[in-house]
Structure 1
Amino acid sequence: MKTAQPTLAEVQAAKGELLARAAEEGRRLTVAELAGHLGMKRPTFYSRFPEIAAEVVGAAAEAGHKTSGRPRNDRAAELETRLTLLRRERDDLRRHLDIYADHIRRLTMENAGLRQELESRSGVTVLSQRRPQ
């Protein structure tokens, strides 16, 4: 059974709550923690909410550490944000491609029907249909 995805407002509220809790405990919020709190997997969270994921990653980068505790430079955070946005764009393009393929199939069928109707109304005999096999 598929559960409903959280809204942007719910994600923002959860992020605020978890950021406050993490600050009290002296640690950084991770995207995996936020996604888990919302009942999502980390990759799904990245694809659905890339801007918020980038904010969480950026907050860790501003603190000078990656979520694993190793030093992190701004270039790596920028590349990670760009990668997240590119993945989202790729998914959008795939959805558009599917929509366009459906439209092409529909138009092809419509075209065949219109051609058939035109041929029947024009009174032109199609020789290939009258030849004996």
Structure 2
Amino acid sequence: MSELHLLSTQQLISGLQDKKFSSLELTEHYIKRIDALDSKINSFITHTSETARAQAQAADEMRAQGDKRPLLGVPMAHKDIFCTQGVLTTCGSKMLHNFISPYDATIVSNIDKAGMISLGKLNM
């Protein structure tokens, strides 16, 4: 499917549940769009493509083992204001150009618990 990025979150959930596509296929689709478009629109401060691929593969394995979390394997990105352990967190500020957070913000922990795939951190 070449138009996966046009699907709503509910359609992504249904597509994963119905095995129309895997989380890894969905994640690769988004990574390719980011790679193709982000230099023009500057939406990402930090890309986490390799981590996203690993998360997607793990999500597909969990789904195959019967994990029914609805958001499991759905890719997303969040604003760079949310601390993410081990990932650059600048809040769009030059002052924080090298800050690697030692912890996760609550929202990041909740996203992780839901099994969502993190594509990176968005510009402010």
TM over 0.5: no
Query: TM-score, normalising length from structure 1?
Result: 0.34
Higher helix share: 1
Q: Larger relative contact order (C-alpha < 8 A, sep ≥ 6)?
A: 2
Query: TM-score, normalising length from structure 2?
Result: 0.36
Question: Which one has the largest radius of gyration?
Answer: 1
